Structure formats: C-alpha cells, structure tokens
Amino acid sequence: MKRRDFIRSSVGAGVATGAALSLGGANSLLAAEAETDVDLVAIRGGEPDVMFDKGIAALGGMSRFVKPGQRVLVKPNIGWDRTPERAGNTNPKLVKRIIEHCLDAGAKEVLVFDHTCHEWSKCYKHSGIEQAVAEAGGKMVPGNSEKYYKQVSVTGGVKLKQTDVHELMLDTDVFINVPVLKNHSSSRATIAMKNLMGCVWDRGYYHKNDLHQCIADFLHFRKPDLNVVDAYRMMKQNGPVGVSLDDVVTLKSQLISTDIVAIDSAAAKFLGMDPEKINHIKLASEAGFGTMDLSKLKIKRIVV
C-alpha cells in the first residue's frame, strides 16, 4: 500500500482560546477517506458512544479482542473529583459503550477501576463513571488501598524494575485502556501511556526516578490489548486537574488503536505538540513498543 504522510508536524500550533482549536497536524489525521486493514482509527463529529460504535467496527468489532468467557479490565482515567464537562476524566458515555460491546462479545465480567488522586468515592461518583458502569452491566472495583496491589517485576525496565500493580492487572484476560486526552504540567501530555500510572500503587516513585522513563518502562510489564483515546472534550491547559471550563475545548473526536505509541503520537497533535518532544513517547518507541512514524500506519478516518 502506498504510504502517505497523514499527519504533518504541528509544533507550535497550540490551542486557540474559546471554542476554536488550531489542530495543526491533527486536521490531516481526521480529514480523509477510510482505508481497510487499519492500524489506527480516527473518528470525529459524534457523541462518544456513537463514535466508538463506528471505530470499533472499523477494527473488526470487539469480538476481535474479547472472547466468550473472558474477564475484561477497562481502565479509564477517573483520577479527579470533576464532572464530565470539566474533561478531567474519561467520558462516561464512552466507558459505558465499551463495556456494552465487551458483554455483547461474550465477556464473563467487565471490571473498571482507577487509583484516583482525589478521594476515590467522589471521583467514581462525580465523574459519572460509576453510574455508567452500573447501567452497562459492568463492575466498579476500588483502587484506594494498598491491599489491592501486588508486587511484580518489570523485566527490561530501565528505571522501573519492580512495582505494585492492582490485582486486576494479574487476573484479567483482556486489558482495554481508555484515557482522556489532556495537557499535563509534569509530562506535558497525559494520554494512553500516562493513564497506566493509575494501575500502580506508588506513583511517587515515578516522579522521583525519571517520570518519562518509568512511564515507558511499565510497558515491559503489560501493554493494553486496545487503547481508546477520549478526545470528545480536551483539557488544553492547566492539566491534569484544570481550573475552570475555560481550560476545556470540545473536539468531538476519538482515536482507537492497538499501538500505544502510535495513538499517543497521534493524540499529541491535538494538543499542538510534537510527539518527538514528549519523552515517554519517544522512549517507548525506541524500546520497540510501537511506532511514532504515522506515515507507516494505515489510518482510517471516519466523520459521523
């Protein structure tokens, strides 16, 4: 297949104030016709659940990832005591629809958790995710106590040699990573790789021992089977918590891929960032966990 440069550099493009957004290279990601046998799906223009319906169909349906009788872990960002319009957490409509697809594919059980930064019960409730999970037939699991975490070795890690991960990481068959796209004061962007910090107990270790390297190192332990980036609303500044609604822009977009490096590279464009300058993306690419070169990917673009 002919290779094309789907995404042009958007370094310095930034984000416009108010409702407008300068997407830079992200425009080319979302603008063209669909292709088959895709590596990454970019969807725009619909509600989160509708966009996921179309996106997962383009990847062959959820039955490609979830088999009858399997236990599925869905890991959104639920880290903050914020309502959905503040875009601090993954959109609850998206989480609900992913669970429904998993159950329709025959999953025995779909479990959802996060190691939250704010008080966990408030995060679960005010994010809208707790209600969404219940309505979909999934199960919320707490992540607020060290008793839920087990020590594992991270073979191949440079800085992260071992860590304590939530027990669901050890006893589920399928792992679906569902971050919300945001600006981040420490890591510049928080997308799919950064969202995995919510799977460990001691996040402080990351911050004290080369944050970006630890984020990349975690992939030596377990990579998600599927990544779904929620860009329905995007926190363009003051992340990861946000200050007000002025920090948020509505994009009505979504990205889906099995390649965690590719999806983070593509999503960074929405923030007007060069993925080459986000260290954990570059480190993960160099370690062989995926590709940053989006021209090598078959990308399907869908407008709802």
Q: What is the pLDDT of residues 80-90, one digit of tens each?
A: 999 999 999 99
Residue type, 96: K
CA 191 – CA 264 distance, rounded (Å): 6
* pLDDT in the model for residue 29: 58
Beta-bridged to residue 302, according to DSSP, are 43
The tokens describing 113, both together, are 């958790």
Q: What is the DSSP letter of 285?
A: H
CA distance 92 to 95: 5
Cα distance from N-terminal residue to C-terminal residue, the chain? 26
Q: Please give the sequence-ordered ranges of beta strands (E in DSSP) within the chain, or none if there are none.
A: 40-44, 71-76, 109-112, 139-140, 149-153, 162-166, 174-178, 180-184, 188-190, 226-235, 248-257, 299-303
Measured CA to CA in angstroms, residue 132 lies from 69, 144, 163, 184 at distances of 22, 20, 30, 26
According to the model, what pLDDT value does residue 27 have? 53
Task: Dump pLDDT digits (tens) for 233-290.
Answer: 999 988 788 889 999 999 999 999 999 999 999 999 999 999 999 999 999 999 999 9
Cα 262-257-191 angle, rounded to 5 deg:
60
d(CA 87, CA 248): 7
Would you list the domain boundaries of the chain? Answer: 26-303
Across the chain, which has 304 residues, the per-10-residue mean pLDDT values are: 34 32 48 64 98 97 98 98 96 98 98 97 98 98 97 98 98 98 88 97 96 98 98 91 91 98 96 94 97 95 96
Cα separation, 250 vs 102, in Å, equals 27
Q: Which CATH number fits domain 26-303: 3.40.50.11440, 3.30.70.580, 3.90.1150.10, 3.30.460.10?
A: 3.40.50.11440
DSSP 20: -
CA distance linking residue 97 with residue 75, whole number of Å: 13
pLDDT given at position 28: 52
What is the model's pLDDT at position 34?
40
Q: What is the pLDDT of residue 184?
A: 86
* Residues 73, 168 contacting (CB under 8 angstroms): yes
Indicate the pairing of strand 248-257 with strand 226-235. Answer: antiparallel
Whether the CB-CB separation of 158 and 213 falls below 8 Å is answered with: yes
Which residues lie below 8 Å from residue 282, measured CB to CB, with a gap of 6+? 275, 276, 292
Helix, coil or strand: residue 66: coil
Sequence-distant (≥ 6) Cβ neighbours of residue 184 within 8 angstroms: 190, 194, 239, 240
Alpha-carbon distance of 296 to 284, in angstroms, equals 17
Contact of 62 with 107, CB cutoff 8 Å: no
